[in-house]
Amino acid sequence: MRDTGMENYVYGPAQRGLHWFMAAIIIIAIAVGLYAADLPKGDPSKGFLFLIHKSLGMTVLILAAPRILLRIFKGAPPYRFPIDRLTQLGAAAGHAALYVLMIAVPIGGYVMTCAEDHPVPWFGVFSFPRLVAPDKALAEITEDAHVVGAWILIAVIVVHVLAAIWHHRFKKDEVMARMAPRLATKSLKNSG
């Protein structure tokens, strides 16, 4: 990390690594899922794309545990400059929504897949145990929940990204630099 005076005000390397890795996985999983869902039923690539989508979703579910544990035990770094209470509450609510959706959306996909009597694969290496019996009614309910949850997740991600950009470009505070320390601006470097 460059010497920006931010060393005590950024998330640790494990938290940053999980954040960016999971962000990439989630975005790819959503894109693949949306694309595969729009393919015609007999398209030969549909099954392969859903295998990738399910594998990525289960990866997010598995990585959510260490990410949440890191957040609980390491917490968030302090702010370098005062941040108003409303912004802090908005950030806390947004992060809570992201964590809930990181768990709920993949679980919904898992339950839906099991209820449809399909395997839950992980990149063709193995399949997760099916803990839910086949059930058509449950499959329909969880499919709806999975899709709605995914759209809510997309909305929360968009707000999260826009808020980070707003802080970085317009407020010129350290909020975005806490997760991306290389983005610490010259104004942050010179204002300590």
The pLDDT, as a whole number, for residue 60 is 98
Confidence category of residue 187, pLDDT binned at 50, 70, 90: very low
Sketch the domain layout of the chain as residue ranges. 9-190
Give pLDDT tens digits for 83-94.
Answer: 889 988 998 999
What mean pLDDT is predicted for residues 52-81?
93
The DSSP code sequence of 17-81 is HHHHHHHHHHHHHHHHHHHHHHS-TT-HHHHHHHHHHHHHHHHHHHHHHHHHHHHHHH-PPPPSS
Average pLDDT, the chain: 90
| Amino acid found at 148 | V
172 versus 158: the higher-pLDDT residue is 158
Three-class SS state of 115: helix
What mean pLDDT is predicted for residues 22-45?
96
Identify the CATH number of the domain defined by range 9-190: 1.20.950.20
The pLDDT, as a whole number, for residue 5 is 60
Going by the DSSP 8-state scheme, the letter that residue 169 receives in this structure is I
